[in-house]
Each structure stands twice: as C-alpha cells, then as structure tokens.
A and B are shown apart, each in its own frame.
Chain A
C-alpha cells in the first residue's frame, strides 16, 4: 500500500529534519568571538597555540585552500598571532574566482572581511568603485612603498594614492628541454635570442612519424598567445600608449600576429590544435612528457618540473626579442592584499598588511611556494637566488610588464579577442581585423 510508505517516509524525514534543525540552532549560528575561536581551532591543521580572547579578531579571506599552500599561509598567520597580543587574524578559505563574488556581496552589504587577497590588475577598478580602502595615511606614516618593485607599486595607485599592497607576482619565461636541443644539434646552453632564431631552432626540434608530429619544437600558441607576443614585439607596450590612447593596430602588433600565423602555417593549425586539445585538460603536460621542446610558463612551473618532470634536463631563458637590443619584454600578473571598503578594523588590519609584505613573511612565502614576491629584498635573498630558475625569474622581472585594466574600458579585451580569433581562423586579414578592433576599443574608451 503506497500510502503507508508515504506516511513512514514523511515521519522519518520529519524527525530527521527536526533533529538537524535543533543541531543547527545549537551549533552557534552567527559569528562572534566564540564561534571564531571554535572555527580557528577546528580548521587550522597546524593547531594554533594562540587564543583570540580579548583581542580584536580580523577576518582574512584567501583562496589558498590546497594542502600545499594552506599550511604556508596559516603558518604566516599563526606567527603573526603569536608576535603580539592585541590582534587575532582568522584565516578563511573560499574557492578562487567565486571568492570575489562573495566579497563583492559582503562589501555591498557593509559587512566585508577585514583583509582580502585580490587580483593586482583590477586594484584601480576596485578603488574607483569604493570596494577597497584608501591606504595613503598608513603608507605615508610607515613609508612602506620602497619595499616593492616599482612596476607592482604603480598598479595599486589610483589618483596617485595606494589602495592595496602588492603581495606576489609572476613572470613568463621560456622553459626548454636541453636534451632535445643536443639531439637536434643545438647548443643546450644558449637559448635563441631573437624570434627568428627561435623559429629556426624550433624547426630542427620538430619530430614527425609519417604525417603526424610526435614532437613539436615550439608554437607561440602553446600556453601563450598573441596577447603576450604583441607586448614583446611592441617594446613592452600593451594595447594603450602613455596617454591612454588605444594602439591595437600598431605595426608591431600586426607583426606579432604574422609571426604566429607563419608558425601555424608551417606546422599546420590542425596539428597545433590537436596538441592543444590533448593537453587542454590541464592534466598531462606536453613539456613534461617530452612532446614539446620549448614551453612558455611562469616561474612557478618549476615546481611541476621538479615534482613530476622525471628528472628532465631543462633550461630557462627570457622571451626572445625582435632584434638585438629591442628587449626581452614579458608579461606578469600577481595578487595584492587589501582592506575592503567598510571593514571595521582598518588600523589592526594594516598591521597585518605590513607584516605580510615585510621581508620575513615574503621570504618564507617565496621559498615555500617558489613564487615571485613583491618585496624586493625578499626576492633577492641568497637562499632563493641559489636556485638558477628563481634567479632567472628575478632578472626577468626587470623587463616584465603588468597589464592593469584601464578604468574607462575594463573589458576592452572582449572587443580585441574576437578579432584575433577571426584573424587566426583566416576569416579576415590582419590589418582589417586589427583596424576593426582598434575602432571598437576607441568607441568603448570614448564612452559610446
């Protein structure tokens, strides 16, 4: 009889949900120091020895929840908590990307976290929208700006005033397989200096079985694209000039596209796509498995080579240049630490910001994560510099550009990318495509 089933099912779920409701109510519903304490104790794997009682409790949000990064960030937090007796920082993890939506909602409701990690290229945007706090009174008082690489410091300024402190950064370099170089008769200790030399070397590195490539020396489409090359070809200039005018159709940008198209023509776009699709899962890495000899990636790629590379004999070099002396320009990114607008304890939060960007914390972060950090002194620590990859990356930072979103056209890339795609697919010529992109971006900048 179905009715009996139903009644029983109802009774069961009713009892179950009553019990669970009770459990939820008694389980401490909202914040408060008691809940914070319980959470801190429950979450930290390291087991904090400091109690938040009687201290100002600060919420610190990051997306570093993995078992490799989490213990590192929590060790830093724990050290800070032990170092004084007025402030207690409570670290919470939320998944990347979604954490920004969550923060935005919290800021809009006037109840944000006290300290937040964020993207370095969008600081000005957040500053202009009252999402991040103006830190100039603290920076003036404590004179911290000289800690940072100037290129990074510039990105946190809005109308000349700082709204965040740079935390870490990265830079794109060329990782290459030395054994492949030897096998192809190339000098394994000398990476090609210009793009033309690179293309010639790449041809020697290709390997074919019948009609299919078993190894591709290099394609600028592997883990990199025109957005990187155009900046390198254009002497380190991104899509806007000094005065903020779009320069999407500058000759150098067209040359970069031509370079990519020539490479695609030689290898066959189909072959490149096949390689890309095979590795699109972000699982198997073609460089580590010997299918690609030259690979563009950020500093941190070294840890993957170290952990999964099976003793691969590799070298690292800056990006090539267009001709000698033109510059090995590269692109970097990174993250900042900031105080969201409307946070309740900015004075205490600032102490933590200062601590996180100081030499000691930055050195620890850099060593444990193999990340480039924003603090110049920490970057140059002898321990780190003894690693050739790290050394190369710090040298690379000197000609690495950041590409912060312009305030009047933060989504300009959405207008450029489709034209790039059309050119790559052969649906339009380089010049027509770039002119169209230029016109679209100009229109966007002018405000329609």
Chain B
C-alpha cells in the first residue's frame, strides 16, 4: 500500500463522515415545516414536470396512431386505436437492428475515448504548473468559437486525403485527442479539488500519472458520469458526422435510419415517432441509472431526510 492511495482514501473517508454527521445533526430540526415545504415542492415539481412531458406524450401518442388518424382534425390526444405494430414496423423497415449496433459501437468508443483523454488533458491544465499553459488553454477555448460549417469542407478534404471516408475513423479517432468543451469542463471540476492532496501524493513519491489515475479519477465520479452521459448522448444523436463521412448504408447510425421515414412528399409520422421513441429510450434509461453517481456524496439537503 502506498501513501498516495492512502491519502485519497483518507480524504474520501473524511467526506463520508462529514456527510453522516450532517445527516444526524440536521434531521431533528423543524421536521414539520421541512416536510410541508417538501410536499409543496413535490406538488409544484409534479405540475411543472407534467408540462415538460407534453412533447414526450405527443411523440408516444403519435407513434401509436394510424396515419389516417394523424391526418384527421381535430388531433386526438389519446389514440383511438392503439397500433403497437408501428414499433415493429419501424424497427424492421428502419433497419434498427444493424443501426443500433453501429450507434452503440460509436457511442461506446466515444465514451471510452472522451473520458480517458479529457480527464487526462484537463489534469494537465488544472494541476500542473508549466510555461505556456495559459496560451495553450486560450487557443483551446478559441477552437470552440469557429462555427463548424466553415471547417467542414477543409476537414472533409483532410479526411479524404487520409482515405478515412466511409470509415468510422473520422468519427472516433479525434475523440482520443480530447474535446475542448469537455476538457474545459473537467478542468473546472479539478480546480475545486484541494492541491494539498496532490502535494501529499508527490511527497509519497507518486508521479502525476499515478495521481491522475489513482487519486483524481476516483474523486471525480460526478464529472466523469457527466461527460460520459454527454458523450453518449452526443454520439447517439449525431447526425451530421455520420451523414457526411459514411457512404455505405450498412454503416449508418440510428439518426440517419430515422430520416428514411421523412420524405419530400409525405412523412410517415407514426413510424418516425415510433422510431424516435425507440432511439430516445436508451438515453433516458442510461440517465435514470447513472444518477446514482450524482446522488452519491449528496450532502446539501440530505438535511431534509425522508
């Protein structure tokens, strides 16, 4: 056992204890008023939440209607006749089996590469002192300020010269070199972690690489979960990237597959919406499940227990 891991554990344990103490202390205070305010908030959030769900309801309801019903007026809120087979139809005609695998592959590589590269680079920007850092950081921020339309063509020509067109390389390789947006985000989080921890690690003889891997990463689960979800969602919903760089339909992703239900003449709204719900579900599910990384170490209003 080395000292670096020890100090990290110590820090984590300390935080854990703080939380328990806070919990114990806070619970008896003004229980009735707290409960009432929670109830009020609950009701309010339910109402607002229902409003937030209107679009989702519209999607689901449309996905279960017949085209005939969709075209009729006034629009029905609940489908008169429920057509579950729209989902089967959308799945099959949209080639969702293959496209889902493709999308999963792209999203998987994306999450892995982004978490790895962005936490790595962000550590350098947040915790190591070196000359030229400010300049590099400013250049990095600068890369975000140029609209992607104007770099689209030169970038395409570049990838074409590398013979990367019609492969997943343009969509995956850049991720291993970090993305400015996420590096900036992770850097902000790293900046809030006390420097004493790193100094302690150094005194114990750990180099930066080990401090990053064994100390910073375990302490940054919320932000790692955040960039993981962002990247997954980004890759999952990516449309322009695959469309521009992929020529073979067998390599298409879900978003391009979905577009086949739209056409210049009439859009097959029922299939389009059924497909959209299918595509939406994994992201929602992932968020629902990943939340525990946000709840962990929750300490603000653990005060209002129950």
Answer yes or no: A and B touching, Cβ < 8 Å: yes
Q: Which residues of A contact B (CB under 8 A)?
A: 2-3, 5-6, 13-14, 16-17, 20-21, 23-24, 27, 29-31, 35, 38-39, 42-43, 59, 63-70, 92-96, 98, 101-102, 104-106, 108-111, 278-279, 282-286, 288-291, 300, 303-304, 307-308, 310, 369
Cβ A69 vs Cβ B265 within 8 A: yes
Stretch of B25-33, B106-114, B128-136 that contacts chain A: B106-114
Are A102's CB and B269's CB within 8 A? Answer: no
* A35: nearest chain-B partner, CB-CB: B248
Nearest chain B CB to A241 CB, angstrom units? 31
Contact B153 A108 (CB under 8 A): yes
The interface residues of chain A lying within 8 Å CB-to-CB of B113 are 17
A65 touches B259 (CB 8 A): yes
In angstroms, Cα B269 to Cα A266, docked, is 35
Q: Which of B245-266 contact A (CB under 8 A)?
A: 247-251, 256, 259-266
Q: Which residues of the other chain, A, contact B249 by a CB distance below 8 angstroms?
A: 39, 42-43, 92-93
**Is B82 in the interface zone, CB < 8 Å from A?**
no
Task: For the complex, give the distance between the alpha carbons of A224 and B264 in Å.
Answer: 17
Contact B168 A24 (CB under 8 A): yes
Known interface pairs A2-B221, A13-B111, A69-B263; A104-B250 also in contact (CB < 8 Å):
no
Quote the shortest CB–CB distance from B52 to chain A (angstroms): 20
B258 smallest CB distance to A (angstroms): 9
Binary CB contact string for chain B from 190 to 221 against chain A (1 if under 8 A, 0 otherwise): 00000000000000000000000000011001
Chain B residues 205 to 240 lying within 8 A of chain A, measured CB to CB, are 217-218, 221, 224, 239-240
Residue of B with least CB distance to A304: B266
Most chain A CB within a 10 A radius of its CB, from B115, B166, B261: B166
Interface stretch among B39-47, B69-77, B181-189, B281-289? B69-77
Q: In the bound complex, do residue B156 and residue A105 qualify as a contact, i.e. CB atoms below 8 Å apart?
A: yes
| Chain B contact residues, CB within 8 Å of chain A | 12, 62, 67-68, 70-75, 93, 104-105, 108-109, 111-113, 115, 152-153, 156-157, 160-161, 163, 165-169, 217-218, 221, 224, 239-240, 243-244, 247-251, 256, 259-269, 296
* Minimal beta-carbon separation of A42 from chain B (angstroms): 5
Chain B residues with CB under 8 Å of A23's CB are 105
Q: Are A308 and B71 in contact (CB under 8 A)?
A: yes
In the complex, the answer to whether B248 meets A39 with C-beta atoms within 8 Å is yes
Describe B's contact surface by its main secondary structure.
helix
22 A-B contact pairs sorted by A residue (CB < 8 Å): A6-B224, A13-B111, A20-B105, A24-B168, A30-B163, A30-B165, A31-B248, A43-B249, A65-B260, A65-B263, A94-B256, A105-B153, A106-B156, A282-B267, A283-B75, A283-B269, A288-B71, A289-B72, A289-B73, A290-B73, A307-B67, A308-B67
- With most chain A CB atoms within 10 A of its CB, the pick from B115, B248, B264, B266 is B248
* Residue pair A63, B243 in contact (C-beta under 8 Å): no
Q: How far, in Å, is B150 (CB) from chain A's closest CB?
A: 13
A-B contact count (CB 8 A): 145
Contact yes or no, A92 B247, CB < 8 A:
yes
Contact across chains for B157 and A109 when beta carbons are under 8 A apart: yes
With both beta carbons as reference points, the residue of chain A lying nearest to B113 in the complex is identified as A17
Residues of A contacting B243 in the complex (Cβ-Cβ under 8 angstroms): 94-95, 98, 102
Shortest A116–chain B CB gap in Å is 13
Beyond the given pairs A43-B249, A283-B62, 15 more chain A to chain B contacts, judged by CB atoms under 8 angstroms and listed by A's residue number, are A3-B218, A14-B112, A29-B169, A38-B250, A39-B248, A59-B247, A66-B261, A66-B263, A92-B248, A93-B260, A94-B256, A95-B260, A95-B262, A101-B244, A308-B68
Most B C-beta atoms less than 10 A away, residue of A29, A106, A300? A29
Residues from chain B with a CB closer than 8 A to the CB of A96 are: 262-264
**A168–B264 Cα gap in the complex (Å)?**
13
Chain A residues contacting B251 (CB-CB under 8 Å) are 27
Q: Is the CB of A284 within 8 A of B67?
A: no
Please indicate the chain A residues that have their CB under 8 angstroms from the CB of B266 in the complex: 303-304
